[in-house]
A and B are shown apart, each in its own frame.
Chain A
């Protein structure tokens, strides 16, 4: 069985991702179309009315924001431990995508919070730690861009990403640790989800669609960076 590191070879990555990308794009389009169709066919919630539909874009955005950071952390660990350039590229490629999904989680959450809580924003544990996630993403991008030497930039930002990962469990458990307006765990909890299946299906499909979309964007960004590095190598060869 081929190891993960075999696919970490940039040439093999380009070949494999070239084959997988069209399928990923199709899977994204299908799951998101089905999720939207189901999402707008559900009846209003007995408590939240039609605002419940905001959940179908808010929760997937928040999920991908955290997953992207997890991906970035794992890639950073591989980059630091194995010194593999593709791991550094993968970590760097995930950051701006994660930042956009985090911003979307915050904006859609605010649009849901206003009619439900009567406030656009509250400084509670969940919201504040999620805002912190956005700031960590932005600081990571700034740090990566600030250091000219590619290897040093990758090392410094990998350490930063790993330290920043401490915020992930804080976000996850904030609703249990502190009093908050944000609802508690309602999907991945002991005893099963508290959400009715009529809402659970569109939510699941949209979360899957957002996840596929992240992988589409991430793969294309990694491919771009590999091409850019090849171009830089050609330029250096010409200059040298």
Chain B
């Protein structure tokens, strides 16, 4: 377990490489998902308006 954490003395390089990658990809995924949900909601709202228009 200790070897895993210390990464042979290179923990200061290995873990940040994985941490930054995971964080950046998670944030990118969150942003893209948010963008998609927003677009879907906007279209749904407009379609409702269109349907209910006199």
CB of A175 closer than 8 Å to a CB of B: no
A111 and B43 within 8 A (CB): no
Interface residues of A in 26-73 (CB under 8 A from B): 40, 44, 49-51, 53-54, 57-58, 61
CB of B52 closer than 8 Å to a CB of A: no
Query: Which residues of B lie under 8 Å from residue A54 when comparing CB positions?
Result: 13-14, 17
A112 and B17 within 8 A (CB): yes
Interface residues of B in 11-32 (CB under 8 A from A): 13-14, 16-18, 20-21, 24-25, 28-29, 32
Query: Which residues of A lie under 8 Å from residue B28 when comparing CB positions?
Result: 96-97, 100, 217
CB of A188 closer than 8 Å to a CB of B: no
User: Across the two chains, which residue of chain A brings its CB closest to B3?
Assistant: A50
A51 and B14 within 8 A (CB): yes
Smallest Cβ distance from A6 to chain B, in angstroms? 24
Interface centre among B17, B25, B32, B49 (most CB of A within 10 A): B17
Complex alpha-carbon distance, A49 and B16, angstroms: 16
**Given A44-B8, A50-B8, A51-B14, are A228 and B21 also a contact pair (CB < 8 Å)?**
no
CB of A182 closer than 8 Å to a CB of B: no
CB of A221 closer than 8 Å to a CB of B: yes
**Given A213-B25, A217-B29, A227-B42, are A114 and B13 also a contact pair (CB < 8 Å)?**
yes
**Given A220-B36, A228-B39, A234-B43, are A51 and B50 also a contact pair (CB < 8 Å)?**
no
**Residue from the list A58, A213, A231 in contact with B17, Cβ < 8 A:** A58
Interface residues of B in 30-52 (CB under 8 A from A): 32-33, 35-36, 38-40, 42-43, 46-47, 49-50
User: Across the two chains, which residue of chain B brings its CB closest to A99?
Assistant: B28
**Residue from the list A53, A230, A235 in contact with B7, Cβ < 8 A:** A53
**Given A54-B14, A231-B42, are A108 and B32 also a contact pair (CB < 8 Å)?**
no
B20 and A108 within 8 A (CB): yes
Complex alpha-carbon distance, A210 and B38, angstroms: 25
**Residue from the list B13, B24, B35, B42 in contact with A111, Cβ < 8 A:** B13
22 contacts between A and B (CB under 8 A): A44-B8, A50-B8, A50-B14, A54-B13, A54-B14, A58-B17, A97-B32, A104-B21, A104-B25, A111-B17, A112-B13, A114-B13, A213-B25, A220-B32, A221-B32, A221-B35, A223-B36, A224-B39, A225-B39, A227-B39, A227-B42, A228-B42
Interchain residue pairs A-B with the least CB separation, the first 5: A50-B8, A227-B39, A50-B7, A224-B39, A54-B17
